[in-house]
Chains A and B, each alone.
Chain A
Amino acid sequence: MKSLLPIAILLLMLPLYTALNAQAPSPDQTWKLDQSTLTYHMSHPMHEVDGTSHAALGKGVCHAGLCNFLVAATVKSFDSGDSNRDLHMIQTTRGAQFPIVQVKFSLAQSSLNSPTLDCDLEVQFAGNTAHYSHVIFQQTIQGTAHHITGVVPSTLTDFKIDPPTFLTIPIKNAIPVRADMVWHAE
């Protein structure tokens, strides 16, 4: 009988341990951006242009239940299919002086498997920083791959970029950036 007492105590403590363990933060975790397609869209009364970069790099670090993510791409990696336009884009966005566009955001680790991700983005671009609240990204999970898509509603004025003109007509202020990314937990 005496030998069963410790076992009984352990069994009684099991639910308490389980409850405490459930409240403990998730273990540290890192995420890596495996594939990405970032596409900006530029509108002009005579032209519709998309510039795409597949060269974005990204990493996420989760600690104490909070995940901090960083995605960065070089400005020159965006390709609109016209080398002259791309060089002009680099000039307009001060891409030689500020060669990196980077996006930072944080998410609760518990929300990483949700079908929609509500992100507050901090975007550094062209020497300026803009914040975008509640940007919704759609997520589909296939095995270990987290496929995330969404649009950042960026504008030229957010980054104090003078709108380029064609035939004296400036392009539209809105430059939405579509993100299509695949992340993996490491």
Chain B
Amino acid sequence: MLVAQTSGQTLVVQLASQQQGIELVSKQSNLQILPHAPLPAAPAESAIQSDATLSGSSSSFNYAQNQPTSTGPSLGDLGLTSADTEGDAKRQALFDRRSHMLKIHQRLGLITVIPVAAACISSAGAPPEKGNYSDTTSRDIHVALGATALAMYAWTASYAIRAPRVSNGPARGGVKWHKYLIYIHAPGMVLTPILGAMAYNQINSGQKVHGIASAHAGVAVATAASYGAAILAVSWPIHLKF
């Protein structure tokens, strides 16, 4: 049985076992049999789809010429089922959305490198110079850059977290390391501003930075380094070739 879609009307072509001709049956007329309907001069690429039974065989039917023209194998002959061959537009839309969100994640992640690097550089001026605790300008700039880096980092991460999952398989390749490094830079991005705020308060109260707050610089460096490594992980290996 063949199903033909012609200008919005579905026709069913039945091939009788003792085929003398073709019976055209209209679905819309409740399977009313039409006597020897004339064959349309459809082009070879007319939208005629064979059903699963016929497509699984090694023959096909040419609607225009009313005779077999091809003996080529079909996907069914290869053992592929309709579940393997049929597309899923919804799933494609999910892939599109995921890719779109991860592209934004990538762009924001690269942009975030700027405030992270600037915060690291500005940290040189953050400690008080020779006991001068009153000048807070450099420290305030460092705090502002650090806060910007944190906000940008959170914005970047939100796109990766909210991107739809399309595969339950394990991560392979660079993205695996990209994900492992989250366990370093994500806690680091939380700890660094907390330790920074503690150090800031200690300095403002005329104290030397002490206790756990003294780990602020070390945690920040580890965080920035792992963040950079996470970017490299999904870019590696790089072969410059222009």
Which residue of the partner chain, among B75, B89, B96, contacts A100 with CB atoms under 8 Å?
B75
Which residue of the partner chain, among B78, B95, B102, contacts A96 with CB atoms under 8 Å?
B95
Per-residue A-contact encoding for B25-54, CB less than 8 Å = 1, 0 else: 000000000000000000000000000000
Of the listed stretches B16-24, B162-170, B191-199, B219-227, chain A binds B162-170
Take A46-B238, A47-B239 as given contacts and tell me if A96 and B91 are in contact as well, using a CB distance cutoff of 8 Å.
yes
Q: In the complex, A46 Cα to B84 Cα: how many Å? A: 34
Asked if A90 is at the interface of the complex by the 8 Å CB criterion, the answer is yes
- The distance from the CB of A38 to the nearest CB of chain B, in whole angstroms, is 14
Size of B's binding interface in residues, CB under 8 A: 45
Q: In the complex, are the beta carbons of B175 and A84 less than 8 A apart?
A: yes
Of the listed stretches B65-73, B134-142, B144-152, chain A binds B65-73
Chain B residues lying within 8 Å of A100, measured Cβ to Cβ, are: 75, 80, 84-85
A169 nearest in chain B by CB position: B242
Q: In the complex, are the beta carbons of B167 and A83 less than 8 A apart?
A: yes
Which residue of the partner chain, among A48, A82, A91, contacts B99 with CB atoms under 8 Å?
A91
Q: In the complex, A45 Cα to B238 Cα: how many Å? A: 9
Q: In the complex, A91 Cα to B99 Cα: how many Å? A: 7
Take A72-B80, A91-B95, A96-B91 as given contacts and tell me if A60 and B169 are in contact as well, using a CB distance cutoff of 8 Å.
no
Q: In the complex, A72 Cα to B76 Cα: how many Å? A: 11
Per-residue B-contact encoding for A73-112, CB less than 8 Å = 1, 0 else: 0100000111111011011101111111010101000000
- The distance from the CB of A70 to the nearest CB of chain B, in whole angstroms, is 5
Take A46-B239, A82-B172 as given contacts and tell me if A87 and B95 are in contact as well, using a CB distance cutoff of 8 Å.
yes
Asked if B171 is at the interface of the complex by the 8 Å CB criterion, the answer is yes
B79 nearest in chain A by CB position: A57
Chain B residues lying within 8 Å of A87, measured Cβ to Cβ, are: 95, 98, 166-167
Q: In the complex, A85 Cα to B86 Cα: how many Å? A: 23
**A interface with B by C-beta (< 8 Å):** 43, 45-48, 57-61, 63, 66, 68-70, 72, 74, 80-85, 87-88, 90-92, 94-100, 102, 104, 106, 166-167
Chain B residues lying within 8 Å of A59, measured Cβ to Cβ, are: 73, 77-78
A56 nearest in chain B by CB position: B78
Q: Given A84-B171, A98-B87, list of 12 further CB < 8 A pairs?
A: A57-B80, A61-B73, A68-B70, A68-B72, A69-B73, A74-B84, A81-B172, A83-B169, A84-B174, A88-B99, A95-B95, A99-B86
Take A70-B73, A83-B171, A84-B234 as given contacts and tell me if A45 and B166 are in contact as well, using a CB distance cutoff of 8 Å.
no
A47 nearest in chain B by CB position: B239
B97 nearest in chain A by CB position: A91
Asked if B131 is at the interface of the complex by the 8 Å CB criterion, the answer is no
Q: In the complex, are the beta carbons of B88 and A70 less than 8 A apart?
A: no
**B interface with A by C-beta (< 8 Å):** 58, 70-75, 77-80, 84-89, 91-92, 94-96, 98-99, 102, 110, 166-167, 169-176, 178, 234-235, 237-242
Q: In the complex, are the beta carbons of B173 and A81 less than 8 A apart?
A: yes
Q: In the complex, are the beta carbons of A102 and B172 less than 8 A apart?
A: no
Chain A residues lying within 8 Å of B171, measured Cβ to Cβ, are: 83-84
Q: In the complex, are the beta carbons of A83 and B88 less than 8 A apart?
A: no
Take A47-B239, A70-B78 as given contacts and tell me if A99 and B84 are in contact as well, using a CB distance cutoff of 8 Å.
yes
- The distance from the CB of A126 to the nearest CB of chain B, in whole angstroms, is 11
B107 nearest in chain A by CB position: A168
- The distance from the CB of B18 to the nearest CB of chain A, in whole angstroms, is 23
Take A63-B71, A96-B91, A96-B92 as given contacts and tell me if A45 and B241 are in contact as well, using a CB distance cutoff of 8 Å.
yes
Q: In the complex, A69 Cα to B77 Cα: how many Å? A: 11
Chain B residues lying within 8 Å of A84, measured Cβ to Cβ, are: 102, 171, 173-175, 178, 234
Jot down 7 A-B pairs with beta carbons below 8 A, ordered by A.
A57-B80, A82-B173, A83-B169, A83-B175, A84-B175, A88-B99, A94-B92
Which residue of the partner chain, among A66, A72, A94, contacts B75 with CB atoms under 8 Å?
A72
Q: In the complex, are the beta carbons of A57 and B78 less than 8 A apart?
A: yes
- The distance from the CB of B145 to the nearest CB of chain A, in whole angstroms, is 24
Q: In the complex, A61 Cα to B92 Cα: how many Å? A: 34
